[in-house]
Structure 1
Amino acid sequence: MADDESDGGRFRFLRAYRRGGGAASLADRALLVALGYTALGAVYLGFNVPVLDRLESLFSAQFTVFADLIAIAAAVVLWPLLLITAWACGTAGCGVL
């Protein structure tokens, strides 16, 4: 029990990996981070539907059938960039889309 508290509560995220949890534990943590990133992207997309329409029109020339799915994937992956551009110039994707 003293070994659990030796780091003062810091770095709990990597504790299992440091104690010999192996690569599987690190992969679990990486998948958890990816899940959180994707969830935040989906929430951002839910609040910014006009961005999805602009991305879909942008991709419709190259991907005629799957433009809507590619627009969703691009918005979820690029949500930090879209958020920063929204803060910088008032509209999401300005200068990018």
Structure 2
Amino acid sequence: MEVGVRAIMSAHIRFPALDPQHPATLSRKILTHYLRERLGFRGITVSDALDMQAITRHCPADEAAVQSLQAGAGMILSLGRPAVHIAYG
């Protein structure tokens, strides 16, 4: 933070000491409370791809996108076929 990092990509890793329930990408405790409030990060937080198995084995990618934004991500990343990205006709 001291050197001016402008963007950080979250990982789908669990940090039980910070949030025993959610991976970092879906965790408000990590993305907002720890990263922004405690460490003072002011840049953009980008999720890792939400259609990866680490996420989709627990919830669908569209639900994960909402959770990630609610947790504090500024941008979400999804990979895969174009049809995956079209939520509404």
TM-score, normalised with respect to structure 2 = 0.24
Which structure is larger by alpha-carbon Rg, 1 or 2?
1
* Structure ranking higher on relative contact order (CA contacts 8 Å, 6+ apart): 2
TM-score, normalised with respect to structure 1 = 0.22
- Structure with greater helix share of residues: 1
